[in-house]
Every structure is written in structure tokens, then in C-alpha cells.
Structure 1
Amino acid sequence: MSEGAGTDVPAGVGASTQLHRLFEGRRLTPTQRRIAHCLVRRATDVPFLSSVELAQLAGVSQPSVTRFALVLGFDGYPGLRRHVRELAIPGTGSDQEPSNPYQQAVRAEIDNLRHLASLLADPGPVERAGRLLAASRPLPVLGLRASAAPAGGFCYFAAKVHPDVRLLDEGGSLLADRVDAARHAGASALLCFALPRHPRETLAALSHARDTGLTVVTIADGTFSLVAAHSDLLLPAAVGTGLVFDTVSAPMLLGQVLLEAMCDALPDAQARLEDFDARAATRGLFVD
């Protein structure tokens, strides 16, 4: 939301809403996502920015801004800028109360995300965690059973900006060996996703990781005492319990926020992303 008073604030809100709709359903590259996020945050400023100025704000190259405009269907950045300038202020409406269990589950998940947003009003813990993970070479990421999926998703994207990410998603006697191997290779920190139900092996692995000298950063469903006791830095995010199986939108979003903080702490993150985008285009890796 833009700063200011008078008509500037509602205009900014309207432009941001329309821009979100413009990006919906599109598969954007990480570089394009950075530009999109910058456009939303600076919606009232975009009509007055050149492509070079927008590129500087987003931390990308000027040609990336031009390509982004073309991807959205405009004839270049001037067309995108005109579109933002002409955006109408959307009307406001009142949300209906959820009337069935499915809607109630979605509403509860929205509440979890709102709570996460309030926690992130203090970005200090996430920024500190991002620096710890960025500095670890290699970076082991632990997630067992229900936590394996969010851990795997984090690793997929982290590997685009970090030189050595190691997913630890299988328990058993080899888990401690893999933690030891990461530590001996130079790892200084470990990221853990600890979502219910909590396997005993997760607690054992965290205890072992700390015994080896690793700093443990954990994304967990609140301040679960046993997980917290084995973590140096715990980042809480609530899970939804209204359906047969837990819903984990907030922990997964927190993982992406943490990944953003890690990118900010990696000086070559943007260069790695641009290099991947170039190689993907050369190989025709994606149909879109």
C-alpha cells in the first residue's frame, strides 16, 4: 500500500488489486516475480518510472523489465506503464460469512495467514534466519513425513540461488549420517520444517544436529515446546485443522518468505536466477 494522504491511498490500493488480477494464472519466472512484486508495492509510482528506474527498484536488468511487459501482452514497457496509469479504482464489497465446512476451512486458513502477517511486522527473526541459511555451505533442509513436501518445495527453489542444498526427507539410521556428512562438508546451519504430527525422528535429528555444532532454524506450527527446545531460532506459522488432514498454507508461505530473506543475503542470487532463466530459454525447458 502506498504512503500518503487524500486520494493517493485509494488509488494505490485500486492499482495494486488490478495488477494482482493481471498476474493471476500466469507462470512467472523468479525474475519476473520480483518485477511483479515491485509493481504491486509501487503501483502509484509506476506511471512516473522509466524502465531503467523500475529495474533498479526491482533489482533486475532493464531488458528483464521489457521482456516482462511483453510476457504480459503489452507492446513494451510504455504499454504496461499506460495500463497502470489507466487502472480504475475497484469497488469494495463485503465478504459473506462461510456457510459450509469447506468455506469455514478456507476462512480459517485466511485467518492463519493474517496472523502470520502480523508476526512478520517484526522482520528481524526471518532476516536473521535468512542470513544464517545463506551462509551455510552446504545447506541441509530437514522435513520428515508431513513436512517432507514443504521441505522439498523449499529445496527446489533454494537450489536456484544457493550452490549446495541438501534435502533430508528420509528417516532411519542413515539420517544422522547425512547430518554428519553435511557438517563435515562445512555446513553451519540446518533448516527444519516441523509440522504435525511430529515424528520422534525429527526431534532426534534436531538434537543430533545441535550436538554437531549446527545452528537449527525451524519452521513449526507454533511454539511447540519439544521442537522449540531443539531449535536455536523458531519461526511459527499455524496450520489449519478444519479438514480431515491439516492445511499448511501459512508454513509454506513462511518458507517462501524465508527464501526471499535468504536471497537478499546472497549477493549472487539475482545473477544465478538470470543465468537459470537464460539456460531454461535456450533449452526450451518450459512450454510457457
Structure 2
Amino acid sequence: MEVAADLLKKIEDSYKTFSKGQKRIANYICENYDKAVHLTAAKLGSIVGVSESTVVRFATELGFKGYPQFQRALEEIVKNRLNSIQRMTLTNDRVEDSDIVETVLRGDYDNIKQTLEALDREEFNKAVEAICASRRIYIVGGRSSEVLARFFYYYLNYIFDNVRIISSDSLAESMEDVHRIGEHDVIIGISFPRYSMDTVRVMEYSRKRGAVGIALTDSAASPMVEYARYNLFAESNMASIADSLVAPLSVINALITALSLKNKEKVMDTMRTLENIWEEYGVYKTSQDSEELSGL
């Protein structure tokens, strides 16, 4: 959302037109946006000494439909601007006196719930069709998103013969990995705040080469969106220095399931072959094996 991306600048540009109460709100937000993001309109008003309705009017005069939409814009700023030290400080403020397990798991639950409600099903289905129709499938995800990329790559190899994961060790190696990408290929880019510039650059290059880009990211404000034909958004609000990747992983699971069903016969043949290999070479330990060992 463009308004979200320019929120602080918009507040600065409009500052002279604000009432005294609105200026107090603006001052607090610009100096403490990392704290304001978690405040209700009533609580924010109480802190700066104005009414709840004044806070709501402040949000609507900036172009938002209401305070909740304004708050989401603040979340975008927090996700993109906070460094690791600031994230840790924010976490201490949020969970220091609470049940850490409940706070973190409830946050993950909320991320999945919001993703479920907001995910564009048509965009999702188009992404699935594009992957099925592609000549080659590339997956790129840097920094903490690399774990998502490797998970997706692992399971896509059960479905397709043409899957490649892009090295995230360096931008030069990443570019070498995609130098043959073309218009009959798909590239799936995965990145969440703070966004990996290497991933964004690989997506940019792939678009120039005519590849179909699919972005798994957090919002329309993500730099990934510019280089993708299809965008799948998942909530990833951080719990601490670690990114919350539960909701993105759920979207990946949904993609794997949809792609498996689209290629059901091939996947079944592959799994039959693999099950024979796993059994022959004792890849997995079964409960029966454990019982036999305990009886020795």
C-alpha cells in the first residue's frame, strides 16, 4: 500500500495543517512508531492527552479507512526499519511480563488466521498453473527465508524433474545459477522483512529475461512485488530477533498439496519407487523396529 510506505513522510508534509492534538499524536508516532504500533486508538490518545475519536480522525485525514488500517501501515514501517537490536528491545517491551510461550504461539496463530482470510485464491491458483506449465522451476530465498526455499525445493523434487534452488552464498553465484532462465521458466522468490537484496536482484534479473515470477512475501509494499507476475502474501510479524515464518510455511504446504494433486499419478509412481528404496535400505526407523530392539 503506497500510503503505508510513505506514512512518516505524509505526516511530516501535513504537520502544519494539524490541530494541536493531532500534532501531539504525530510527534509521538514519529518518535515512537515501534511502540505506537501495538497501541489501541484509546491507549494512544491517553498517552498523548487527546480523545480516542481524535486519534481515529487523525488516521482518516491521512487517507486511511480507519485506525486498524493505519496501524497496519505502522506495522510495515516497523518490519522494514527495525534492526535486530531494536527488535529485541521491542520484544522485551511486549513479552517481559507475560507468558512467552502463549505470546509467541498466539502471534503465530494470528499470522496464520490473517493469512488464511486475506490470501487471494485466484492468484494462488494462477501461481499453481504457472508452476505446472513451466519448463524449469527456480526457487530463491536468502537469509532466514532460505529455510523456506529449501523446504519447498525438497518437496517439489518429488513432483517435478526440473527444480533448481538458487545459491544464496553470494549475488555472483546466484546470477550464475539463473543465467539461462527464460520466458518458459518460473522463478519463485521468497523474502520477508528485512528483505534480502540478493533475492530482489535475482527476481529483477529473471523478469528481464522474461521468466514468470512468483513472490511469496508479506505485503504489496514488498520490493518483491515489482518483479513478480503473481504475489502470495503471508503474515510474518516478528516475535523477536527471529522472523515468524509459520504462515509462509503454511502457504508453501498449500502449494505443495495443490501441485501434488495436479500431478497425482506421477507423484504416486514416484512415491511407490521411493518407498521401495527406503524400505530396502532401511532409511526410516519404524515403531516395529523399536519393539524388536527393546525385546533383545
- TM-score w.r.t. length of structure 1: 0.60
Letter in 1 for 2:280: T
Answering whether residue 277 of structure 2 is matched by residue 279 of structure 1, we say yes
- Mean CA deviation greater in 127-136 or 103-112: 127-136
Bigger CA radius of gyration? 2
> Hey, what does 2:173 align to over in structure 1?
174
Match of 2:148 in 1: 150
CA distance in 1, matches of 2:142, 2:167: 5
* Contact 1:148–1:169 (CA under 8 A) maintained in structure 2: no
Letter in 2 for 1:196: P
Q: In structure 2, what is the Cα distance between the partners aligned to 1:214 and 1:266?
A: 22
Q: Secondary structure at the match of 1:180?
A: coil
CA deviation after TM superposition for structure 1 residue 265, in Å: 2.4
Q: Which amino acid aligns with 2:122?
A: G
Question: Which structure dedicates a bigger proportion of its chain to helix?
Answer: 2
Superposed counterparts of 1:123-162, under 5 Å: 123-162=121-160
How far off its partner does 1:280 sit?
Answer: 1.5
Structure 1 residue 261: deviation in Å? Answer: 1.6
Quick check: 1:252 aligned with 2:249? yes
In structure 1, give the amino acid aligned to 2:223.
Answer: L
> Matched residues, percent identical?
18
Aligned twin of 1:190: 187
1:227 equivalenced with 2:224 (yes/no):
yes
Which residue number in structure 2 is paired with residue 213 of structure 1? 210
Alpha-carbon shift at residue 277 of structure 1 (Å): 1.9
Letter paired with 1:174: E
1:187 is displaced (CA, Å) by 5.0
Superposition deviation, residue 104 in structure 1: 1.0
Which TM-score applies when normalising by structure 2? Answer: 0.59
User: Cα 1:172–1:265, aligned 2, differ >3 Å: closer, same or farther?
Assistant: same
Deviations 1:24-44 (A, max 9, x none): xxxxxxxxxxxxxxxxxxxxx
Rounded Cα–Cα distance in structure 1 between residues aligned with 2:214 and 2:117: 20
- Report the equivalent of 1:70: none
Letter of the 1:175 counterpart: S
Are residues 197 and 163 of structure 1, via their aligned partners in 2, closer, same or farther at CA, if it must alter by over 3 Å? same
Question: Quick one: distance in 2 between partners of 1:269 and 1:182?
Answer: 25
1:180 to partner: Cα distance: 1.9
Contact 2:144–2:243 under 8 Å retained in 1: no
Unaligned runs of 5+ in 2: 1-96, 287-296
Which residues in structure 2 correspond to 1:105-124 (within 5 Å)?
105-120=104-119, 123-124=121-122
Find the counterpart in structure 2 of residue 21 from structure 1: none
Ranges in structure 1 where 5+ consecutive residues have no aligned partner: 1-97
